[in-house]
Structure 1
């Protein structure tokens, strides 16, 4: 399942939280020209380093498939960052 929503929460030094919701499908639609260039660049890199392009695309697909439910937390001093992928 492709992730649909990424939530980023950031705690400011004053203790308040700032939340940002990023819907993935519209973001992909807006960034699709850059995504196409990234895929082409990845395919060229696969050919240069003699890696199977099909295997690399399969691995990237598995990584995207495993993203929903992922939580990443960072905390350093008074600042904290929480990223949730749904």
Structure 2
């Protein structure tokens, strides 16, 4: 499971902004929403006749593979870097 999300914004003519977000406290705060999302996903799997266990397993594999991911966005002279550790 990812531990830290780092966001860096490079602005034209200014100092870059860095934000560090620890993942575990955010997940704990959003736990009720996560439970509702899992229930909605399970219902959607049943409606579309997809194995719930396989869908949840695939979702967990995706979350487990996130550490080491880097995403860069550039628009004009502004750049945003998101790194998951």
Q: Please tell me the TM-score bracket, short chain as reference.
A: over 0.9
Q: 1:21 matched to which residue of 2?
A: 20
Unaligned 5+ residue runs, structure 2? none
CA-based RMSD of the aligned residues comes to 0.9
Report the TM-score, using the length of structure 1 for normalisation.
0.93
Q: How does 1:7-86 map to 2 (within 5 A)?
A: 7-86=6-85
- Alpha-carbon shift at residue 16 of structure 1 (Å): 2.3
Report the TM-score, using the length of structure 2 for normalisation.
0.95
Q: Post-superposition, which runs of at least 4 consecutive aligned residues in structure 1 deviate over 6 A?
A: none
Unaligned 5+ residue runs, structure 1? none
Contact residue 9 and residue 81 of structure 1 kept, 8 A: yes
Aligned residues between the structures: 85
